[in-house]
Structure 1
């Protein structure tokens, strides 16, 4: 019984952290998933127009499900700017909030690329 409470506590904490709205920070870029490559890797078109291979870290693999067309935040690697990690997925309501906060041009550009 106590184990179930602990699991539910961590699950609720994780869900609330993933549901809060966030903007791309320093070293992060807005992107759109265009293809699933397998083994937790995705082909992502980024706001700067480059196509990058991004991986889904192990801590998010079973909790975050992605498909082509999803908007994500990609944290670029320091040693290889052509690759990165997917750190956040935007829901549909979050995309509308992004447009209101000044990312409308970036979203339109991503839609025109893909």
Structure 2
């Protein structure tokens, strides 16, 4: 087996564009860190606005996206009950790195 000495592979990896969905403040979306898995599609979220909420994983995300502890997600707090929220997006590792570099994540 011959090892590749072509540097194009490395350059292509660096030039990949990471597309990141930013929380929309006008729609009330906030970044959150998953603290605990509570069961029955519920998670405990530590939101960036300083509130600890119980998050609900909707059925549209339940089978497609696996959410674990310490994942970064976008949550939408409920209008009528501020201690609860819906999880609408989960970030991948490269997206989390981009958020940290750009200053969206203050401290984990």
**TM-score normalised by the shorter chain: which range applies?**
0.7 to 0.9
In the alignment, is the contact (CA less than 8 A) between 2:19 and 2:95 conserved in 1? no
Whether contact under 8 Å (2:74, 2:88) holds in the other structure is yes
| TM-score (normalizing by structure 1) | 0.72
Deviations 1:43-70 (A, max 9, x none): 0101122210000001110011011100
User: SS at 1:103's partner residue?
Assistant: coil
Question: Which structure 1 segments of 5+ residues have no match?
Answer: 1-18
More helix by share: 1
CA-CA distance at 1:102 after TM superposition: 2.6
Alignment correspondent of 1:65:
66
Report deviation, 1:20. 4.7
Matched, 1:100 2:95: no
Q: Compare CA radii of gyration and give the structure with the larger one.
A: 2
Normalising by the residue count of structure 2, what TM-score does the alignment of the two structures yield?
A: 0.76
Distance 1:69 1:56 in 2: 15
> What stretches of structure 2 of length at least 5 have no aligned partner?
1-17
* Equivalent position SS for 1:21: coil
Q: Distance in 1 between matches of 2:24 and 2:35?
A: 22
Q: 1:49 to 1:61 in 2, by over 3 A?
A: same
1:100 is displaced (CA, Å) by 2.7
